[in-house]
């Protein structure tokens, strides 16, 4: 590895640590923007906040979900309910689901899970396609 490559690698690590430190210090006040479509069929930028452990537990319980259920195609409705619960908490707007177009809570929830430190969780296997 050349000196220049090593220098770039160190810079990337510093940037990653800088963002992590910013998230840790801000806690649940840390937020990032997400663009979603609402009932008026226009795009709007929404602030999405990191969630506390308590918020995440409450969202999962309210949806009757477990972390392993995320992405399970057989549990579409409960996954949608979970995305709505997470979105409501992460935007600090309990009724946000009433103004979003269908499935627009997902980008909000995914961003909230990401900035809250829940990424790359377990995945349920996809059903096998029938062979012809």
Coil vs helix vs strand at 32: strand
Provide the whole-model pTM: 0.68
Angle (CA) 105 110 115, round 5°: 130
Q: Give a yes or no: residue 13 inside a domain.
A: no
13 or 55, higher pLDDT: 55
Asked whether residue 59 is domain-assigned, the answer is: yes
In a domain, 85, yes or no: yes
Q: Which of 15-19, 86-90, 111-115 has the lowest mean pLDDT?
A: 15-19
Domain that holds residue 99: 30-115
Query: For residue 43, what is the enclosing H or E element?
Result: strand 43-49
Helix axes 105-115, 76-91, angle to 10 degrees: 70
Binned at pLDDT 50, 70 and 90, residue 131 comes out as: low
CB-CB contact of 109 with 86 (8 Å)? yes
Question: How far, in Å, CA of 109 to CA of 36, rounded?
Answer: 11
Please report, rounded to a whole number, the percentage of residues in the chain having pLDDT higher than 70. Answer: 81
- Give the chain's domain count: 1
Question: Is position 41 within any domain?
Answer: yes
Measure the CA–CA gap between 69 and 74, rounded to whole angstroms: 9
pLDDT in tens, 3-29: 989 889 888 887 876 766 666 665 567
Output the pLDDT for position 132: 43
Q: Is residue 47 part of a domain?
A: yes
22, part of any domain: no
Mean pLDDT for the chain overall: 82
SS (H, E, C) 47-90: EEECCCHHHHHHHHHHHCCCHHHCCCHHHHHHHHHHHHHHHHHH
């Amino acid at each position: 590895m050349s000196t220049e490559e090593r220098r770039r690698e160190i810079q990337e690590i510093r940037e990653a640590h800088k963002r992590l430190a910013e998230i840790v210090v801000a806690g649940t006040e840390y937020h990032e923007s997400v663009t979603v479509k609402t009932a008026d069929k226009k795009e709007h930028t929404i602030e999405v906040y990191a969630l506390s452990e308590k918020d995440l537990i409450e969202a999962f319980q309210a949806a009757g979900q477990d972390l392993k259920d995320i992405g399970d195609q057989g549990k579409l409705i409960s996954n949608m309910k979970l995305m709505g619960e997470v979105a409501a908490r992460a935007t600090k707007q309990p009724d946000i689901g009433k103004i979003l177009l269908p499935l627009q809570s997902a980008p909000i929830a995914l961003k909230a899970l990401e900035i809250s430190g829940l990424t790359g969780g377990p995945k349920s296997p996809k059903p096998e396609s029938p062979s012809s």
